[in-house]
Structure 1
Amino acid sequence: MSLRAILHLCLHVAVPALLAWLFWRPQFGKAWMLLLLGWVIDLDHLLADPIYAPGRCSIGFHPLHTAPAIVLYAGLTLPKRTRLFGIGLLVHIALDALDCLWMRASS
């Protein structure tokens, strides 16, 4: 596994932890777990062949990483009940987009 891939995975854990600590400190554990649930959208990788391709950008390729899905995730941030999950999904998408930029910059 490349250093970029390891950093990408670490950011998927660290960024939600940082956000939970900064904004929801009294409920840190619960907030962090709800933000981490954003990882559930990676289930769409199971539909791809190969499931994991180190040089493939997820944004726009996998069904749960497309513009219509992202609009839905933004909508989930509006109701208080689903806000943290929606933010977690958007953070996940943002980190995947960052990974796509890193891939393009290194090629």
Structure 2
Amino acid sequence: MEIIQPLLHYSGHWLAPFAIGWLLWRDNWLRTGAMIAAANLIDLDHFLADPIFNPDRCSIGFHLLHGWEAALVYAVMLAMPHWSIRAFGLGAIWHLAVDYGDCVMQTL
């Protein structure tokens, strides 16, 4: 489990966005994958925490951009007309899903 958790976490944040881009926007998968991966910027809210990084802390519900209110905003972004806003919203929701999976694995 020690190696699986970080492997799943970081591949979920940095490789999966390009796979999602390829599945949903095949004509522009690379650009879309980059936009989905750019949603990892929501991790900037970690700088508001003390300590900034705690490997035993679940991000979901703790950090400002990792709460249910933010998730609602990301969901609304899915309905926006421009592809880049939809891709960023999808990426942010995917980011929350990956972090949630990390939280579940912390409890095992």
TM-score by length of 2: 0.90
The corresponding residue for 2:101 is: 98
Amino acid of the residue matched to residue 16 of structure 2?
V
State the alpha-carbon separation in 2 of the partners of residues 22 and 86 from structure 1: 16
Tell me, what secondary structure is at the counterpart of 2:52?
coil
Deviation at 1:49, TM superposition (A): 1.2
Structure 1: gaps spanning 5 or more residues: none
Structure 2: gaps spanning 5 or more residues: none
Q: What are the equivalent positions in structure 2 for 1:1-107 lying under 5 Å apart?
A: 3=3, 4-81=5-82, 82-105=85-108
Task: Tell me the matched-pair count.
Answer: 104
- Measured on the aligned residues, the alpha-carbon RMSD in Å equals 1.1
State the alpha-carbon separation in 2 of the partners of residues 49 and 26 from structure 1: 42
Tell me, what secondary structure is at the counterpart of 1:80?
coil
TM-score by length of 1: 0.91
Percent identity over paired residues: 38
